[in-house]
Amino acid sequence: MATARIVHGMSPFSRFLHLRLHLHLRRRTLTSAVRPYFAATSPPSTAVIYDQHGSPDVVTRVTELPPVEIKDNDVCVRMLAAPINPSDINRIEGVYPVRPPIPAVGGYEGVGEVHTIGSAVKGLSPGDWVIPSPPSSGTWQTYVVKEQTVWQKVDKSTPMEYAATIIVNPLTALRMLEDFVALKSGDTIVQNGATSIVGQCVIQLARLRGIHSINIIRDRAGSDEAKENLKQLGADEVYTESQLDVKNVRGLLGNIPEPILGFNCVGGNAASLILKFLKQGGTMVTYGGMSKKPITVSTSSFIFKASLSIILSCSSCEVALWLEMAPFDDFHTALEKAMGKRGRQPKQVLKF
């Protein structure tokens, strides 16, 4: 590094200028030697977060989150839409077995548009539509930054609300129909929770394969309308729980064969209604517990259906879903609808 050299005989003013020039050159040398690094970051994000477990309408709040660093393998996604699923509500309540540590951002699936990519990301570009696959927590916010391995590109011609809900519910229905019993045209399945999105998908996928469906719904206001809606989707029979309070439910089947496969997402007594219908040696798959009650199995089911299987499941055709797009700005109204506080409502999908 150069040192200042004062020449004898210089005037005080010349010496002053000489020292100023030396200090200026030294400052430039130091600045160029240590260049600051500015990492790419996401925009600030508006998010639904919860700091403790409890009733979602009490513990959630909408807040602003600071920008997040975008690393080499990261993708920053501007969320377009994300649903409010029953499992999302259960995570916030703290009763779902798999849940993120708190404080946490809500949401587990959705669709978004690539906003920014890290320097090492290949195969994705800004403007692409992506979904988290498998689902990943934290989708109830305007910007999400996660590694590229989290994101799966989807066709932008897909309706936004369908892309946002494709992973959790429709694929659950498909896997349950394919993974446990080798169903063929003419067979019958039975399910409770038939008005859920999974239930609606089961009905439609079964109909497309020539499989009969027996469907059980809760007793509540609007049940007649719900029955009609499910039959329009392709349900063979729809019963309320109270209608099945009879000794011989098989007498309700008419010419429909006894079900060989049942789907239970409710638990409690609703599970025993599935068993009432099942053929001897049938299989009941449990994929949810909306009642938060244990599965009730009668002694006679074990004795007289000796080969009964009870399975706990993790969870190119057109399927219609009963959805309602809700503005993200009106999150708490959508949440109340999703929690059933405003009567029977379509599945709520947040639109950002």
Q: pTM of the full predicted structure?
A: 0.79
302 domain residue, yes or no:
yes
Based on the fold, state whether residues 51 and 133 are members of the same structural domain: yes
pLDDT of residue 314: 47
Report yes or no on 22 lying in a domain: no
Query: Are 49 and 98 in a shared domain?
Result: yes
The active-site residue, picked from 96, 108, 162, 287, is 96
Claim to verify: residue 124 and residue 222 sit in the same structural domain: no
Q: Are residues 293 and 179 part of one domain?
A: yes
CATH label of the domain that carries residue 125: 3.90.180.10
Domain count, the chain: 2
Task: Identify the pLDDT of residue 34.
Answer: 43
Residue 1 lies in a domain: no
pLDDT of residue 302: 57
The range of the structural domain enclosing residue 217 comes to 169-309
Q: Which residues of the chain have pLDDT under 70?
A: 1-39, 297-318
CA 156 to CA 160: how far, in whole Å?
Answer: 8
Residues 179 and 302 in one domain: yes
239 annotated active-site: no
Report the DSSP beta bridge partners of residue 79.
112
CA dist 275 and 305 (Å) reads 9
- Is 4 contained in some domain? no
Backbone angles phi, psi at 326, to 5 degrees: -120, 130
Q: Residue 4's pLDDT is what?
A: 47
Q: Nearest Cα to 93, choosing from 56, 38, 57?
A: 56
CA distances from 107 to 31, 138, 139, 204, 291 (A): 45, 5, 5, 26, 21
User: What's the pLDDT score for residue 299?
Assistant: 61
Q: Is the omega angle on the peptide bond into residue 103 within 30 degrees of 0, that is, cis? A: yes
178 and 294 in a single domain? The answer is yes
Q: Is residue 15 part of a domain?
A: no
pLDDT attached to residue 251: 84
pLDDT for position 304? 54
Q: Is 318 exposed, middle or buried (0-12, 13-18, 19+ CB in 10 A)?
A: exposed
pLDDT score of 305: 56
Dist. CA 204–CA 230, nearest whole Å = 9
Specify if 229 maps to a domain: yes
pLDDT digits (tens, 9 = 90+) for 255-305: 999 999 999 999 888 888 999 899 988 999 998 877 777 777 666 665 555
Q: In terms of domains, do 133 and 97 share one?
A: yes
Q: What is the pLDDT of residue 253?
A: 87
Please report whether residue 30 resides in a domain: no
For the record, the structure tokens of 246 come out as 């009879």
The tally of CA atoms less than 13 A away on the side-chain side of residue 281 is 1
In a domain, 33, yes or no: no
Do 260 and 141 sit in the same domain of this protein? no
pLDDT digits (tens, 9 = 90+) for 97-123: 888 999 999 999 999 999 999 999 999
Assess whether 182 and 305 both reside in one domain. yes
Instruction: Specify the pLDDT at position 290.
Output: 78
CA dist., res. 308 & res. 192, Å (int): 18
Residues 184, 141, single domain; the answer is no
95/196 same-domain check: no
> CA 113, CA 351: separation in Å to the nearest integer?
13
| 300 shares its domain with 181 | yes
CATH of the domain at 245: 3.40.50.720
